[in-house]
Structure 1
């Protein structure tokens, strides 16, 4: 046998499959790897497979330059060349639900409001890879794509699938009974059965042209046409794709950020009728969660009065706006449960007498006895007319009832008809509330809805139901609070409800309840903006009712919303001298202290003007300590000042008409300043009430402050309880977020001192306060952090690339900002586990990177890249790491750690005011040209000052901070490495796009120091993957996948030879570890 040559002895004779099996066996701690590789059996420990040393990758860029493609490469040219136009940055306009954008009308706004509006209105900045769908990483058969393909497909129903129904089924049964026993007993498919079927079957229709001679070509053409008729264009794509033998990891495109809605319920109020009709009745709807003891929707006010009854109030009610005439509403429920009730409250015009006296006629008179009681009814109508003329603008509580929502949903869902009518009686029942739910079933026209699923809390697929509520409970003057209501609602579900023993008010309220359509027409938002598909503004609208979720909802703000809800709760005038008994509270939103400074920002209720300057609470007759159940909705101005405040004026209303006695007499005053040290003031208040008008400059002080010379009820004790709730995408209502945004905005405007809480921050201590506020972001509540997530991340990123100049010194906040980002991202990952995709990416963060993130503007007073950018302030430094690093900081590609110091900074460039103003004006003139906004500003500065201002680039700073971080910060960054990798790649793409470098040679696109940091980062992360894979398998899998996607993305934008060297580094480290782990 001939002797083998030396090089041949080193050649491995082991096939690749055995190598893969051995490696997978060594990494058997990962169940995912075992699943993907489908390892069967075991590998002998006596045979080891030597791992071939990775070869040095080719310098692809140099190779392509030195080996240009031949001109006549033909069809293969497109396969050989990577398309130069693969990457594109697209600014996609946001989809606005409303016909008019929901932005404030004020021309002057403070920086925080301006930033919020920019965040909610600027276009999406999307990086598109045009040819991604041609690669192996693209999977066209996503779940959403499958659903889209299946739309419009007819359902295939076969005879064996059809269920017998109705008369046809009965006829077949009768026919079977008439047959002889021998036929019935004959097995299916037997000869006898076949003969019987054949003899009794109808003859088939004749086939025309059967015997005609037709050319084969014509037959083929006809067959081809018939095959194409109604054929799906992607027939084979309808079948789910088979499992891949070697699965490819793919990233799904995140959902577009949008406004949150829960399960939506459409409620239509059809009619309200009492036994007697003598006066107008005013109704409202709201949802309550008994278990959470929380009101979970705002009020919906509707008017079902006849024109005759409305006419009684014309002297007191302005012409009705179309927006206040709605009789249908869409409620949103994020957390549906068995504890949700739809509560209906009724009010009437104030009159002399307590609630029981006023309700008595409605309980004793019957419609059938109208003729017999004609004189009494005429007298009641005359009295009601007098009260409407005199007291028409005041209300009093009248009656209420409630509907257990889930009983209606489950009842409607279990019925066979397409729609149902359910009569609900709340008094004199023989069973419990839940047992009286379908006493009357009457068919209605089909709304073409079907029921799917048996989930009792599913509000999206139950059958529409018409409810007839026949009885109401009389309001009790001393039991009007929400706590009393929750007790009543809880009692309703008990078999021995005390409410059954109460004497009801007989009425008939008809309402429709159904799942809300996906895109309803003629719909108004809670701000009264018209939702798209609003063909005619004269049509009676449907109102979207704002939800107050029972629990926190973690969704970022995407639209401008700035609403305030005021809930007067109780008043204690027991110790007040005088005869104040019929008490109402007038609520006004003031921008000054003069009576004319009341703002028309209070939403109207029903059949009135759209906005008003004042609102009144209902009056409880002859009660010095009344409870209130009012909800007053206010449209907050975008910018608030220290003079904006809520003014409460307490009046005694004279129900009896007397000479020289005014209709209303002021008996007290109190107020709430809207801002306290720059923060919106909300929550529960127990306020003292002044007997006199407040003095000048009262609005900047709290009523708790003892003002000299003022008289107070009950010695300045708190006697008025009120709750103020804000639903705002402007005000964070979190002290830590408020402080951070306030300090950042102070830097923008260079306005010192800054008052935050009880602190007065001067410029000399701003640096410490700013750093402490960044560190304290981790202490803020998670819900406001998520709501303002996009703006918060934008501000942190801005601090990384534009460190501020404080007292003439540059403050480098890159490390603190990176730590805050890592902490926030990790916190979201731990607390929002249900929002992760298959790779552990949080959907909110993935959406931020894909749609929202863009390069911050690094030039003062110039627009941010892309349309919709807002100019920044001149009080940030534009600086960079020194262009030439000291010798001690030189980084070689072979090093595994970066020695860069993020605190080393260059000299700040600060042009004088004249140059600055010229730059600002020229930059704004060119704001429409996003491609050249950076380069033109740079060139212009260079022309004026003789030097090009240096700048920090986010991807460079991000890589640097990541490389040098350590301890818990590094651990947090590793846990969510995907976020920083994807953020870095998008920053790189934007940088190339805005500097026209996408067509530049790849070797010259990025500086060497940045590539050194990338090499160090990849090397350390590869080491972490190798060293941790047996300790934390799940984390290592996520980290390995994130690194793989990162390297894949780098191949599209960087020097490919450099990326190949990074892949070699990872391979060597994994191979070295695997070699040492072999027994």
Structure 2
């Protein structure tokens, strides 16, 4: 959105891109002009929100004057009593009112009033909230949010890892949310690593915190922890030393061999795993030494520890004399139920009772876990130094800058047990913000919530990635096998470098060309438990593909670092498998040749194991750019063709795609609601008459469906209110305004109904959603007014009212008259729709007073008098 003074006087800008999220990935910085729908999507998630400050009776750019309460003293009273009595009419007593005599105020109900003041109290401002509450069909503002879902945040930090035999080699791990009942991961992995005492700083080398999101507490929600270590040397010290029954320490020779080997071996193997319930009421605490509701996140915890189901924010003065914030106290969890990996497992089978019992690891992993309220009083209102930055914001309309993508996940389930101990950090200052020890939000990793891709709410942020999960490779002979994963644009040149599209595990590192999995040591069936995150291009062609390279590595100590040997390759075209939700099986090629994806070259390829599908993997697409619904994709494709005029004239394909939107399932419709509405508005403003009517009818149908799924039974669905009040910016002024075309097509429908033509049920639907279209017209006018006088208005002068074109005003006048007729006729039947429509028209006139010439508004009001 352009940065100009006049637009800033009328509209408030709200940043859309959270500071916690990276900038658009390099693969998205492509020329999207040839894909207009993609351009709309990127702008929808990346541009600023704009809010009309004159709407809802607020004048928020001007701070109201402070009126001091008048004090009346009598012979039998004192000043403090009169101050309290005068303040009793207010909603709450100001905390900063000082006592004059030094003694504290008494209870509000204990004093007696001595006489009446000579004059009534002065009311300095009009009570807009009370006035609106008396109007049927009232409209109320919707507070902007980074996500529509509420819930809680959980932060996790790894403190230490200790073994009975000692810690002499580095260990690596990942933490994610896991639902035991549904047997699926709820979030992506948060990575950490721990260095032994002898290496580097002799402490945890990464102070990062992982932040996870939940809709509500559930006994089935757990932390899934997976540990890795350096791949075991052949003939060297095996990982069984960490699970020996007798607590025998490593010998000096064993320590030396492990230290030397860990420095030359860059590859890792799977070591151990654990599942830790977060909301289990049957965990033993060290403080009580008995079974009690001791989980820090259990709903039954006492309020004194801020562990209750509804936790209130706690704010106090921190050591740096700035106001800190925390949603609850932290606890330290000692995890002693680490299970050594004995056989392959997946998220579905990790706790299958039929599986072999894994040996316990003689060690303890210590975590610091803290929960936080996922709301406005949260750390998205914190500045970088931890101080609260929203003290100057109107509490009735909180429009603070958004700093965090909130994508809560959900879970439900039954009880289960755990081998963990919880220690409440009573001695710590609970006023810390989320970053606690580090004091910087940059040290927090916000794990993406997979449930956000299936929730019935609009996408508000840009995410466009593919999670790859290699599962197993079955060979006829034992190998030490690992897999390298990369994204390639085409298959023409096998020596060409891949795209930089793989997310690294280390924080602060740019995208990489490839990443590799764990090493499956000495196995015919190599199993893997890795999660690889791939940044996808904005659009892809049939030649975009993932290339998997299989390596065998010698795990023997030599003078030089081990050199992997290529065993084979496997390719996976994105366009073919991107939608797959089940396991995928692929054959493995011995060598790559040019154009190995083409059907014509497959006869020349040589495959391992007689061409059997020996490589199994799984994909998880998470994208707010690529609709998985076929009807939405078809609409986007036809929209591009129409916008680019790649066809001689729009044909039946576009009309068919528009009409098919009514059959899109509610989840896909709500997720891409805002870009779909923008594209339909563009067609209404720039299409022919037939196309305008089709787009308008489709829009009415979508709005009606969205309103019907309103879970609060409000007159105005909050998704639609957010679109009108914040998301819609009339295409940033880069295209003609929406209101002329919208008024024309709506007025044409109303006149057809007035003339007795059959217009179908769409007419009643558009009347019930009239508030949406009227407020959309108003905002489009206001944005055009601010942009018209952007450069030619002297500084300090108000924006003059806009004179509507005669054709547009006549159309609005006719529409207004038709709507008044509907109100008049439906009032005779006592329908509530007539009352709501009447209120919408009144608000419409009120809003127009700040935009167009008053004489034109007077003509509309005169029409009301005539009716």
Relative to the length of structure 2, the TM-score reads 0.71
Provide closer, same or farther for how the CA distance between residues 1026 and 630 of structure 1 changes in structure 2, counting only shifts above 3 A: farther
SS at match of 2:651: helix
> Any idea what the Cα deviations from partners look like across 1:260-294, whole Å, max 9, x if unmatched?
67411121211111112232211211110122332
Q: Which residue among 48, 57, 77 is the counterpart of 1:132?
A: 57
* Residue number in structure 1 paired with 2:861: 1060
> Any idea what the Cα deviations from partners look like across 1:913-950, whole Å, max 9, x if unmatched?
xxxxxxxxxxxxxxxxxxxxx9xxxxxxxxxxxxxxx9
* Residue number in structure 1 paired with 2:278: 405
* Residue number in structure 1 paired with 2:624: 729
**Structure 1 residue 407, shift from structure 2 partner:** 2.4
**Structure 1 residue 330, shift from structure 2 partner:** 1.4
SS at match of 1:958: helix
Provide closer, same or farther for how the CA distance between residues 331 and 854 of structure 1 changes in structure 2, counting only shifts above 3 A: closer
Q: Which runs of no fewer than 5 residues in structure 1 stay unpaired?
A: 1-84, 141-145, 162-232, 313-321, 371-375, 413-419, 425-430, 441-447, 492-497, 752-762, 804-809, 857-863, 873-877, 879-933, 935-949, 1067-1079
Alpha-carbon distance between aligned partners in 1 of 2:771 and 2:93, rounded to the nearest angstrom: 32
**Structure 1 residue 999, shift from structure 2 partner:** 3.2
Contact kept, 8 Å, 1:289 with 1:340, in 2: the verdict is yes
1:347-746 alignment to 2 at 5 Å?
347-352=228-233, 358-364=238-244, 369-370=248-249, 377-385=251-259, 387-389=261-263, 392-407=265-280, 435=291, 451=306, 453-454=308-309, 462-478=328-344, 480-487=345-352, 503-516=359-372, 518-519=379-380, 521=384, 541-549=443-451, 552-573=454-475, 577=476, 579-593=477-491, 594-606=494-506, 610-656=510-556, 663-675=563-575, 683-699=581-597, 701=598, 707-713=602-608, 716-746=611-641
SS at match of 2:253: helix
Relative to the length of structure 1, the TM-score reads 0.58
1:255 is the counterpart of 2:143: yes
Contact kept, 8 Å, 2:467 with 2:619, in 1: the verdict is yes
Alpha-carbon distance between aligned partners in 1 of 2:551 and 2:618, rounded to the nearest angstrom: 20
* Residue number in structure 2 paired with 1:278: 168
Alpha-carbon distance between aligned partners in 2 of 1:535 and 1:506, rounded to the nearest angstrom: 28
* Residue number in structure 2 paired with 1:829: 707
Alpha-carbon distance between aligned partners in 1 of 2:270 and 2:486, rounded to the nearest angstrom: 22
SS at match of 2:743: helix
1:171-186 alignment to 2 at 5 Å?
none
Q: How many corresponding residue pairs?
A: 728
> Any idea what the Cα deviations from partners look like across 1:462-507, whole Å, max 9, x if unmatched?
54211112231111223x111112536xx9xxxxxx99x8642121
**Structure 1 residue 604, shift from structure 2 partner:** 2.1
Alpha-carbon distance between aligned partners in 2 of 1:629 and 1:1058, rounded to the nearest angstrom: 71
**Structure 1 residue 774, shift from structure 2 partner:** 0.8
* Residue number in structure 2 paired with 1:108: 31
**Structure 1 residue 642, shift from structure 2 partner:** 4.2
> Any idea what the Cα deviations from partners look like across 1:944-971, whole Å, max 9, x if unmatched?
xxxxxx9954333333345547213223
* Residue number in structure 2 paired with 1:955: 743
Alpha-carbon distance between aligned partners in 2 of 1:160 and 1:537, rounded to the nearest angstrom: 40
SS at match of 2:366: strand
1:125-204 alignment to 2 at 5 Å?
125-129=50-54, 132-133=57-58
* Residue number in structure 1 paired with 2:727: 852
Alpha-carbon distance between aligned partners in 2 of 1:661 and 1:992, rounded to the nearest angstrom: 69
Backbone CA RMSD of aligned residues: 5.1
1:1017 is the counterpart of 2:835: no
* Residue number in structure 2 paired with 1:1077: none
Provide closer, same or farther for how the CA distance between residues 1050 and 633 of structure 1 changes in structure 2, counting only shifts above 3 A: same
Provide closer, same or farther for how the CA distance between residues 653 and 993 of structure 1 changes in structure 2, counting only shifts above 3 A: closer
1:7-46 alignment to 2 at 5 Å?
none
1:1042 is the counterpart of 2:840: yes
Provide closer, same or farther for how the CA distance between residues 360 and 601 of structure 1 changes in structure 2, counting only shifts above 3 A: same
The structure whose residues are more often helix, as a share, is 1
> Any idea what the Cα deviations from partners look like across 1:212-236, whole Å, max 9, x if unmatched?
xxxxxxxxxxxxxxxxxxxxx9999
Provide closer, same or farther for how the CA distance between residues 815 and 95 of structure 1 changes in structure 2, counting only shifts above 3 A: closer
Contact kept, 8 Å, 1:680 with 1:733, in 2: the verdict is no
> Any idea what the Cα deviations from partners look like across 1:952-996, whole Å, max 9, x if unmatched?
543333333455472132233233232122223333444555567
Provide closer, same or farther for how the CA distance between residues 592 and 89 of structure 1 changes in structure 2, counting only shifts above 3 A: same
Provide closer, same or farther for how the CA distance between residues 669 and 789 of structure 1 changes in structure 2, counting only shifts above 3 A: same
SS at match of 1:698: coil
> Any idea what the Cα deviations from partners look like across 1:386-426, whole Å, max 9, x if unmatched?
54355x22221111112110127x989xxxxxxx87799xx
SS at match of 1:967: coil
Alpha-carbon distance between aligned partners in 2 of 1:744 and 1:591, rounded to the nearest angstrom: 26
* Residue number in structure 2 paired with 1:784: 668
Contact kept, 8 Å, 1:469 with 1:508, in 2: the verdict is yes
SS at match of 1:306: coil
Contact kept, 8 Å, 2:17 with 2:46, in 1: the verdict is no
Alpha-carbon distance between aligned partners in 1 of 2:471 and 2:614, rounded to the nearest angstrom: 11
* Residue number in structure 1 paired with 2:79: none
Alpha-carbon distance between aligned partners in 2 of 1:822 and 1:787, rounded to the nearest angstrom: 17
1:802 is the counterpart of 2:667: no
Contact kept, 8 Å, 1:450 with 1:463, in 2: the verdict is yes
Alpha-carbon distance between aligned partners in 2 of 1:300 and 1:133, rounded to the nearest angstrom: 44
1:1001-1012 alignment to 2 at 5 Å?
1006-1012=808-814
Provide closer, same or farther for how the CA distance between residues 150 and 298 of structure 1 changes in structure 2, counting only shifts above 3 A: farther
> Any idea what the Cα deviations from partners look like across 1:705-729, whole Å, max 9, x if unmatched?
9822223345544332222223223
Contact kept, 8 Å, 2:18 with 2:405, in 1: the verdict is no
**Structure 1 residue 821, shift from structure 2 partner:** 0.7
Provide closer, same or farther for how the CA distance between residues 962 and 287 of structure 1 changes in structure 2, counting only shifts above 3 A: farther
**Structure 1 residue 547, shift from structure 2 partner:** 1.5
Contact kept, 8 Å, 2:341 with 2:358, in 1: the verdict is no
SS at match of 2:269: strand
Provide closer, same or farther for how the CA distance between residues 532 and 1062 of structure 1 changes in structure 2, counting only shifts above 3 A: farther
> Any idea what the Cα deviations from partners look like across 1:557-609, whole Å, max 9, x if unmatched?
33333222111123333xxx5x2533222111223443442233322224895
**Structure 1 residue 1021, shift from structure 2 partner:** 4.7
